[in-house]
């Protein structure tokens, strides 16, 4: 095993001794895995710990690797993650350089499922153009607009800045769904373009006060919020029926 892997492995052995409360640590199998984002997994099977770290984190300095080890093992045993570990790890992954690497990795390896912007009932292109003129003076650049591949209910819309895509849940492409609800979801995702994510103090802020103020300017804001709240159970039931769950 390369020297780097040996050093990182020692961090996990140390973390297990601290959080597991036992002198003997499990056998550790540590690998870097080609996850698209900053994903890491840890699990124990038959007295062996399987740890998969995102390949993109391979070049993090040792102090960040140690912090990550303490974070993962603490969560594994449902213990409180040390504040110092969280702050150290966050400091490195929130740097502009690292975020750029993540975005480049997503562009190179990510796969965004694009279906069509023209649904059975609603046309996302038409809705976007209308909203852009009414609320943004036509200044929002046209992203890729697509209905989701499957009907969903937990997430009705999503803006992916890396792939410059807005995805709207196919659950909303139905006659019983008022057009203003679809418009509101698209409008919300357009606001993510208008108000890009702010990075401050190692945190990401997607819904800033300015974002929330602009969101309430949507003509049918209250009606749309109310409809979604009242119909979420129906959306969930229909989605599970269609998806065979």
Q: Are 105 and 128 contained in the same domain?
A: no
> Within 13 Å of residue 111, how many CA atoms lie on the same side as its CB?
3
3-state secondary structure of 226: helix
| Cα-based angle 150, 151, 154 (whole degrees, multiple of 5) | 115
Mean per-residue pLDDT over the chain, rounded? 88
Q: Are 98 and 129 contained in the same domain?
A: no
Predicted pLDDT of residue 136: 96
pLDDT digits (tens, 9 = 90+) for 60-89: 999 999 999 999 999 999 999 999 999 999
Is residue 38 one of the residues assigned to a domain?
Answer: yes
Is residue 115 one of the residues assigned to a domain?
Answer: no
Is residue 118 one of the residues assigned to a domain?
Answer: no
Predicted pLDDT of residue 55: 86
Q: Are 94 and 175 contained in the same domain?
A: no
Q: Are 66 and 8 contained in the same domain?
A: yes
Predicted pLDDT of residue 154: 83
Q: How would you label 211-237 residue by residue, b for 16+ Cβ within 10 Å and e otherwise?
A: beebbeebebeeebeebbeebeeebbe
Range of the domain at 49: 3-109
* pTM, to two decimals: 0.58
pLDDT digits (tens, 9 = 90+) for 202-242: 677 888 999 999 999 999 999 999 999 999 888 888 776 66
3-state secondary structure of 103: helix
Give the residue from 86, 109, 132 where a domain finishes.
109
Is residue 194 one of the residues assigned to a domain?
Answer: yes
The H helix count followed by the E strand count for the chain is: 8, 8
pLDDT digits (tens, 9 = 90+) for 142-154: 888 999 988 888 8
pLDDT digits (tens, 9 = 90+) for 121-178: 999 999 999 999 999 999 999 888 999 988 888 889 999 887 788 999 999 999 999 9
Is residue 205 one of the residues assigned to a domain?
Answer: yes
Domain count, the chain: 2
Is residue 206 one of the residues assigned to a domain?
Answer: yes
Q: Are 105 and 140 contained in the same domain?
A: no
Q: Are 132 and 105 contained in the same domain?
A: no
Q: How far apart are CA 50 and CA 72, in angstroms?
A: 11
Predicted pLDDT of residue 224: 96
Is residue 116 one of the residues assigned to a domain?
Answer: no
Give the residue from 109, 142, 159 where a domain finishes.
109
């Amino acid at each position: 095993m390369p020297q780097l892997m040996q050093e990182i492995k020692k961090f996990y052995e140390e973390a297990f001794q601290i959080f597991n409360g036992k002198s003997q640590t499990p056998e550790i199998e540590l690998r870097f895995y080609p996850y698209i984002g900053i994903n890491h997994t840890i699990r124990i099977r038959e007295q062996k710990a399987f740890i998969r770290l995102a390949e993109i984190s391979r070049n993090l300095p040792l102090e960040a690797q140690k912090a990550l080890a303490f974070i993962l093992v603490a969560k594994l045993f449902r213990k409180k993650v040390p504040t110092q570990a969280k702050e150290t790890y966050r400091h490195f992954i929130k740097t502009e350089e690292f975020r750029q690497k993540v975005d480049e990795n997503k562009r190179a390896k990510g796969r965004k499922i694009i279906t069509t912007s023209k649904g059975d009932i609603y046309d996302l292109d038409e809705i976007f153009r209308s909203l852009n003129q009414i609320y943004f003076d036509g200044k929002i650049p046209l992203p890729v607009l697509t209905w989701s591949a499957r009907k969903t209910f937990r997430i009705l819309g999503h803006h992916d800045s890396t792939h410059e895509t807005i995805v709207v849940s196919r659950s909303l492409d139905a006659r019983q769904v008022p057009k203003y609800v679809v418009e509101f979801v698209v409008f919300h995702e357009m606001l993510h373009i208008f108000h890009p994510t702010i990075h401050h103090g190692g945190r990401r802020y997607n819904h800033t006060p300015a974002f929330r103020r602009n969101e309430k300017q949507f003509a049918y804001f209250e009606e749309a919020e109310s409809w979604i709240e009242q119909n979420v159970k129906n959306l969930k039931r229909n989605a599970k029926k269609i998806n065979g769950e």
